[in-house]
């Protein structure tokens, strides 16, 4: 599982997908989420604006699993 470190309070699911190179641009997030199984903390998720906080675990079919971490 890869850790995605953030400096802010949260990151959106669309931003995480772009930061992890699952998608090339933010504009691809909506279509990607409609066609790909993504879960946040074990629950299916398809909202690109879903706020992710440190400790959240995101699993993306065909891309990997990611844990949101807070920068010191």
Categorize the per-residue pLDDT at 15 as very low, low, confident or very high, splitting at 50, 70 and 90: very high
Burial of 20 (0-12, 13-18, 19+ CB in 10 A): middle
- CA 65, 44, 18, 69 dihedral sign is negative
pLDDT at 27 over 90: no
Distance, CA of 6 to CA of 33 (rounded, Å): 22
pLDDT at 9 over 90: yes
Residue 26: the pLDDT is 83
State the average pLDDT over residues 58-67.
95
Of 9, 20, 13, 1, nearest to 40 by C-alpha is 13
What are the angstrom distances between the C-alpha of 30 and each of 17, 41, 47? 11, 20, 8
Residue 6: the pLDDT is 94
């Amino acid at each position: 599982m890869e850790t995605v470190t953030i400096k802010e309070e949260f990151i959106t699911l669309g931003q995480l997908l772009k930061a992890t190179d699952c998608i090339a641009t933010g504009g691809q997030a909506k279509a990607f989420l409609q066609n790909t199984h993504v879960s946040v903390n074990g629950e299916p998720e398809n909202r690109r604006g879903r706020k992710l906080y440190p400790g959240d675990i995101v699993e993306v079919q065909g891309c990997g699993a990611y844990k949101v971490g807070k920068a010191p």
